[in-house]
Amino acid sequence: MSNMHKNISEEKLIQECIEGNRYAQKTLFEKYRSLMFAICMRYAKSKDEAEDVMIDGFMKIYSSLNEFKKKGSFEGWLRRIMVNAAINNYRSNLKHYYLSTIDDNSFLEIRNEADDFKTNYSAEYLINLIQGLPDGYRMVFNLYEIEGYSHKEIAEIMNISISTAKSQLFYAKKALQKKLAKINQEEIY
């Protein structure tokens, strides 16, 4: 990163990127790469897929910078674009996903146990477990638990029913519980 761009204001950096300044674009990429890659890793099955999603996301960011209205935080705007890149990746591979449904009352059975897992394991460890989930489960889990979307919003984003969104979350949590229970059992012996 050039010294000229190390201490540049965010607003100036955005303007220079809009004007096509490659050094400014590289600076923007370097500044947010780690955060954006972490977001992509939550949705991807592998590092390679996460990198592909991140590159697609940055391409969208660069082409959309003139649409940033400065009403919210720039980082929040970047995060939304990156999550949308992950969603688009999911949609492009949708034919490979299996989505199932379940009775809404079943969700109550595991809520407390699933919530306990949030504090007992490192973020990196949980991300690895989340990456092991089936694709549909992983998408819904990330959108609901991490990004804070409602079931209705998830249903609209993924073009599924609200009950399917709920069931995907239920099965994601159940799968994580089974993995963690197995790991805990192995640690005892």
pLDDT single digits (tens) 20-38: 999 999 999 999 999 999 9
Is the pLDDT score of 3 beyond 80?
no
- The answer to whether the pTM exceeds 0.75 is no
Domains and CATH numbers, the chain: 3-92 (1.10.1740.10), 96-188 (1.10.10.10)
CB 167 within 8 A of CB 100: yes
Amino acid at 119: T
Query: Cα(120)–Cα(17) distance, rounded to whole angstroms?
Result: 41
Identify the weakest region by mean pLDDT among 80-89, 96-105, 151-160, 176-185: 96-105
Identify the weakest region by mean pLDDT among 1-5, 108-112, 122-126, 180-184: 108-112
- In the prediction, which pLDDT does 97 show? 43
CB 26 within 8 A of CB 73: no
Q: How many CB atoms lie within 10 A of CB 187?
A: 7
Region of residue 20 (left: phi > 0; alpha: psi -120 to 50; beta: else): left
Torsion of CA 96, 101, 107, 110, to 10 degrees: -50
In the numeric block, which tokens belong to residue 169?
């979350």
C-alpha distances out from residue 97 to 137, 155, 172, 185, Å: 9, 15, 14, 30
CB 134 within 8 A of CB 72: no
| 3-state secondary structure at position 54 | helix
* pLDDT-derived band at 45, boundaries 50, 70, 90: confident
- In the prediction, which pLDDT does 57 show? 95
pLDDT for 94-131, tens place per residue? Answer: 654 444 333 333 333 333 344 444 445 676 777 788 88
